[in-house]
Amino acid sequence: MNQLSLSRNTSDSLKTNGKPAFAPSLDTVQQVDINEREFRRASQSKSERWTLRTPTKRDIVDRLERVSADDALRLKNCCSAFRVLTCGEHTLRSYPTFRCKKLFCPDCAAERATRLGNQTEAKIREVMKTTKGRLCFLTLTTKNAATLDGGLVKLKKSFANFKRKKVFKKHIKGYFGAFEYTFNPKTNDFHVHLHLIVLRGKFWNQSDISDAWRDVTGDSFIVDIREIKNTHKGVKEVCKYPMKPTDLMTMPDDKFLEVVKMKKGTRMFVSGGCFYNVKLDDDADETDENVFSQFAELTEGDACPFCKQELFDVLVDRRQHIGLHELNAMPNIVKNNSS
C-alpha cells in the first residue's frame, strides 16, 4: 500500500500503474450526475469534453510561470530530489527533500490524500467500535460563488448554522468532512461543496435534509445522503483532492491566482460530535508520509530486513526515484555514485 502511494506521488507523467496521477472524482453517482452534467453543459462542447486531459505538473508549472514566478519555482522544486533509505537492493523508505504543500500540486495533493485517508480511516474505525449508528456519506452544496474565498466562507457559515439545528443533532451523532471546489469557465465562478462522513442514528431522508439545508442557506437545497458500505472507500471520497486539476487550466488568470494564493492554513476540514477527535494535521512534515510504513523505525546502519545488508541513506533525483519504485529496488549505479 505504501509502495503504491509512493510511486503515485512521484509520478511526473499522466499515469502511474495505469491509473491517472489524479484519481477521478469519487463523488457519489447522483452527485456526479448533477455536478458533471451541469458543469459540462455550461462549460464545454461535446468535442472539448473528450480532449480535456489532466494537466501534468509540468503543465501547471508552465502556466504558473506566467502569473507568479515564485510559486512556479516552488512547485518546480517540489519533489525534485528524494532521500532514500536502502541496502542497495531494497528500498525501505523515501521522502522528498522539499515539498511545496500546495493543494494544486499533483505530488503534494496525492500525498495529502493518502496520508489523510489513512489517519481518518484509523480514527473512524476506532470510534465505530464504541458508538452505534450507520455511517453515511452526506454532500451539501451551495450556489456558485464569484470568488473561492467567498464561496468557502458562505458554505462554512451555512454549515455552522446547519449543525446547530435541532433536527441535525437529532439524527447525526458525529460528522467529519472536507470542502471541495470546482470551477465553471462559462459562468466564471466557483462551485464549493462539502463532503461529509456522518454517523447517523435515526433515519433522515434526503428531502428533509434538503429542506433543513435550504433553511440555513436561503437559496441552496441540493444535498445527497447515502449509506457507506465500505468504510475505506467512503473515507477516500472525503479525503481526496479538494479540486479537479483540469479546472486549473480552464480558469482565467485572476481565478487561477486566487487558487494559487489561497491562504496557507485555510481550514479545509470540519469535524464534530463523536468524530470530534477525527482531527487532521494538514501540515505534516516531510517524513510523515512514512509514518504508516512498517519500516518507519529503521535508520542508516541497521540491517535490511530482507537481505541483512547494511542500510544507507542516499540522495536521488526524481527520475532515479521513479525508476527505483518501478523496480522496487535500488539501481546499482546510484550506490556506486554515492560511495
Q: Which residues bind Zn ion (CB under 5 A)?
A: 78, 87, 89-90, 100, 105, 107-108, 304, 306-307
Q: Which residues of 187-225 are buried (b: 16+ CB within 10 A; e: fewer)?
A: eebbbbbbbbbbbbbeebeeeebbebbeebbeebbbbbb
Nearer Cβ to Zn ion, position 36 or 89? 89
Q: Which three cell numbers stand for residue 322?
A: 521513479
Nearer Cβ to Zn ion, position 129 or 308? 308
Sign, Cα dihedral of 154, 160, 166, 168: positive
- Dihedral angle of Cα 74, 78, 80, 84, to the nearest 10 degrees: 140
The minimum distance between CB 282 and Zn ion, in angstroms, equals 14
Nearer Cβ to Zn ion, position 107 or 237? 107
Say if residues 197 and 233 touch (Cβ distance below 8 Å).
no
The minimum distance between CB 104 and Zn ion, in angstroms, equals 9
The minimum distance between CB 101 and Zn ion, in angstroms, equals 6
Candidates 311, 254, 339; CA nearest to 90 is 311
The minimum distance between CB 121 and Zn ion, in angstroms, equals 23
The minimum distance between CB 248 and Zn ion, in angstroms, equals 14
Nearer Cβ to Zn ion, position 64 or 197? 64
Nearer Cβ to Zn ion, position 98 or 276? 98
Instruction: Identify each DSSP E strand in 3-158 by its residue range.
Output: 15-16, 19-20, 81-86, 91-96, 134-141
